[in-house]
Amino acid sequence: MGVFRNRDVLFHDYVPLRLPHREKEFKELLGYFKPIVRESLSIKVHVNGEIGTGKTVLCKRLLRTLEGEASAAGARLRCAYVNLAYAPKPYYAMAELHKQVAGSPAAGLSPEQMLSNVVETIVNEDSKLLVVLDEVDTYLDEGGDAKIFYLLPRAHELNEAARGRISLIYASRSFDWLKRLDAATLDTLGRTLAVKLEQYGYQQVRDITEFRADEAFKPGAIDEDVIDFIAHISMEYGGVRYALELLLGAGIIADRQGRDHVRAEDVRMANAAIPKGLNGAIYPQELSIHKQLLLKAIMETLEATGRPYVTFQDAYTKYIETCQSYNVEPECESTITDYIEDLKIEGYIIKMGKGEDKRLGMEYPFHSLSEVVEKSLKHTPSGF
């Protein structure tokens, strides 16, 4: 019994072999970067699209494809993916890049020293490096230092032999982040190409839902009309990502009830169980590292007390403990107060009172949300 063949294909970090309705953009992106496998070139490209348009999966698919092509050609190409939402400062972003290219960095190194080690590694092994910097706008929205965007394009200044070896992809929701850079950093970015991802329409969402369902479920486990139903519901709550959540949730319900078929009622139950914010479905894995840690602290404090609300101070104390368990330097109270307002606006929490009387709560069961946050934090690079 059971409906799943491979439920992993429904998780947000899965990278499929094919990207329905993104093949055009994939070919465009591949065309820009394919020459770096054999030639000394530094290419910079913006991948731009609203939430849910497939920026991350497109970039990761490109990295895997280029790694395969480089291997087949006997060329050396290193690829690194850095999610800046998990890197509140240039140090952490560079530490993650260092970890992927040159191994875990020694304590006490500056971003410049870590970049120097990365450059030395690729020069010594005569390789190229393609770096994806994802969630650029989230990083800047939360006060991230734009220094990271200045350092990487100028890496060749540390070693002339690195010229033409490092290429970059900047993934963001819009081009607005460029307005926040100073003239020197903009000049450093130089000429940058762009790939724009438009929002998916209903038929595209439906096609992608069916494609993933075929990978995830056993033959005959889910009917066409149920896929139609999922696609229709998902258009209101974020499109493809929500459709994948519904597929996963409905499949789990069918499995738990010992059935070999997903019903429409399973979809309804899954839909009711997924938390909704003011702008539709909420995706905690897209929050910055500190907002995820804060959300985790609030949920754990609510669960431990069994009360409808917790005080700000109790939540903040738990947040500090949570940061320590993940080896993360906690933010100050004023910054966390700002983050609480953000979480409230985005629909994750509710807030009562002001000042010292602030109390925090959640208006829906948070077990599934807690699981998503826990899973997301497991992928957090250590040392943040």
Residue 349's domain is classified under what CATH number? 1.10.10.10
Number of helices (H), then strands (E), in the chain: 15, 10
SS3 300: helix
269 shares its domain with 291: no
pLDDT at 250: 96
Domain that holds residue 228: 201-274
pLDDT at 32: 97
206 shares its domain with 149: no
- ∠ CA 224-246-10, rounded to 5°: 90
- ∠ CA 179-182-187, rounded to 5°: 95
Tokens standing for residue 208: 């992608």
Q: Is residue 3 part of a domain?
A: no
Q: Is residue 6 part of a domain?
A: no
Q: Is residue 5 part of a domain?
A: no
- For 276, the enclosing helix (H) or strand (E) is strand 276-277
294 shares its domain with 313: yes
Q: Is residue 327 part of a domain?
A: yes
SS3 367: helix
- The residues near 293 (Cβ < 8 Å, ≥ 6 apart) are 319, 322, 323, 326, 328, 377
Q: Is residue 4 part of a domain?
A: no
Mean pLDDT, rounded, of the chain: 91
Helices 224-234 and 264-273, axial angle in degrees (round to 10): 20
- For 311, the enclosing helix (H) or strand (E) is strand 310-311
Neighbours of 28 (CB within 10 A): 14
Tokens standing for residue 381: 């690079």
168 shares its domain with 102: yes
Residue ranges, the chain, pLDDT below 50:
383-384
Q: Is residue 12 part of a domain?
A: no
83 shares its domain with 190: yes
121 shares its domain with 244: no
Q: pLDDT, tens digit, for every residue of 327-355?
A: 888 999 999 999 999 999 888 899 988 77
Q: What are phi and psi for residue 83, nearest 5 degrees?
A: -90, 110
CA distance 380 to 373: 11
221 shares its domain with 362: no
223 shares its domain with 296: no
- ∠ CA 127-118-160, rounded to 5°: 70
Which CATH number fits the domain that encloses residue 185?
3.40.50.300
CA distance 139 to 157: 25
Q: Which residue has the tokens 């970059």?
A: 168
Domain boundary among 197, 214, 240: 197
**Phi/psi class of residue 54: alpha, beta or left (left: φ > 0; alpha: ψ in -120 to 50)?**
left
363 shares its domain with 257: no
Q: Is residue 237 part of a domain?
A: yes
188 shares its domain with 206: no
Domain tally, the chain:
3
Residue 126, amino acid? D
Q: Is residue 2 part of a domain?
A: no
User: Is residue 319 within 8 Å of 289, Cβ to Cβ?
Assistant: no
CA distance 3 to 19: 24
Q: Which residue has the tokens 């107060």?
A: 337
Tell how far CA 278 is from the center of its chain: 21
- The residues near 355 (Cβ < 8 Å, ≥ 6 apart) are none
Domain boundary among 248, 274, 300: 274
29 shares its domain with 125: yes
**Phi/psi class of residue 382: alpha, beta or left (left: φ > 0; alpha: ψ in -120 to 50)?**
beta
Q: DSSP secondary structure string, 128-182?
A: EEEEEEE-HHHHHHTT--THHHHHGGGGGGT-GGGTTTEEEEEEESSSGGGGGS-
269 shares its domain with 307: no
pLDDT at 381: 56
Which CATH number fits the domain that encloses residue 230?
1.10.8.60
Domain boundary among 176, 197, 218: 197
pLDDT at 280: 58
Q: pLDDT, tens digit, for every residue of 214-271?
A: 999 999 999 999 999 999 999 988 899 899 999 999 999 999 999 999 999 999 999 9
